[in-house]
Structure 1
């Protein structure tokens, strides 16, 4: 039986013969959705600023300066920006690891990162797996994901009732609670974002074997 981490890849001899299809337009838009929204908002703000200044409304300068400077001057604002930057960074790095390893389909489709959010330990990604990929693959490539995300380690947990959903914790710093996931019910993502599930249940998600 071949190991899941394909430094010993049984398909390596034929992979150069496969005509990989690049991601489609919809896929590209989905992967860069946050950056597209931010760029659109920034462009809209600049256009509104130029229009206001052209009409002699100098208060627009004060408003724009305040919008930019206040988050940078307040510790909470800097922390928010920094943590969400790491979310964007980790999302793209996880996608890159999937593309550069065997965690993709034979047509080159990688798992879908539905959501990624900041956490006390780093970032947490909720991922939908494609056919042919399972949570064990993410566990096998945990070291590669951690290195790509510039993190200390990675924790992988499978949804207790739906094996095509996994939670990937990108650990950047140690916390008091080393088991942050809680899946007391079978709602998709229940407890994954720290909601505690229903009825106060606290059954942890399954920890995959190495």
Structure 2
């Protein structure tokens, strides 16, 4: 029998506990990006108010330019859009874990440690909980793709540390010549194993020699 959470890992779906939101620290970790944005916006607003009240317009011009100029360029807009989708995908991944069996009996879901934009979408580094493994994410890959409004999903497991999983969300075709950050810089290019036979490793983890041979 192939591994699939639809062959329930618990006696019955109705027996599953209601997923919990986690403790205060876990909840703060899940909305860390939103908290940083709010803190930055509050600091920006206070700085502007203080500068205008004292009649100092130079800080006002510098701060507004620092925000408006990047947003007016194509590179800046692409950066904002890419990181916007990272935030969306992180929350959608968490929602899939809550709505499926990818949480523990105590109701805890895996932790999304880091999510970064790629040339084809986003890539998330996930720390699984006890009782959950990379094969669970592979079995629910179609649900993850649908929840993230994406084309597809690829799942990779760490070669030596099975608790670490990469979920690669594919939204579009790769743009030739694009340079994007990758998790391979932190954990090594050869550290990940694809759970699909046709994919030995994430596309952006291949070496230049392999890419030339494929061409």
Coarse TM-score class (shorter-chain normalised)? 0.7 to 0.9
Quote the Cα distance in structure 2 between the aligned partners of 1:32 and 1:99: 16
Spell out the pairing of 1:10-89 with structure 2 (5 A cutoff): 10-15=11-16, 18=17, 20-89=19-88
Equivalences for 1:141-180 in 2 at 5 Å? 141-175=140-174
Is there any run of 5+ residues in structure 2 with no aligned partner, and where?
Answer: 198-215
- Preserved contact between residue 156 and residue 192 of structure 2 (Cα < 8 Å): yes
Alignment of 1:105-144 (within 5 A): 105-144=104-143
Q: Retained in 1: the 8 A contact 2:111–2:126?
A: yes
Question: Does structure 1 residue 207 correspond to structure 2 residue 189?
Answer: no
Residue aligning to 2:183 = 193
Q: What's the CA shift for 1:143?
A: 0.5
Are the aligned partners of 2:128 and 2:163 in contact in 1 as well (CA < 8 Å)? yes
Match of 1:5 in 2: 5
- Mapped to 2, the partners of 1:20 and 1:92 lie a distance apart of 15
How much does 1:95 deviate? 0.6
The answer to whether the 8 A contact 2:19-2:107 is kept is: yes
Q: Distance in 1 between matches of 2:162 and 2:138?
A: 13
Cα pair distance change 1:21/1:154, threshold 3 Å: closer
Residues 167 and 192 of structure 1 are in contact (CA less than 8 Å); yes or no, is this contact kept in structure 2?
no
Q: Which residue of structure 1 lines up, in the alignment, with residue 213 of structure 2? A: none
User: Gaps spanning 5+ residues in structure 1: where?
Assistant: 178-190
Deviation at 1:117, TM superposition (A): 0.5
* TM-score in terms of structure 1 length: 0.82
SS in 2 for 1:6: coil
Distance 2:191 2:46 in 1: 49
- How far does residue 176 in structure 1 lie from its aligned partner after superposition? 7.5
> 1:78-135 deviations in whole A, cap 9, x for unaligned?
1110101111110111011001100000111100111111111111101100000000
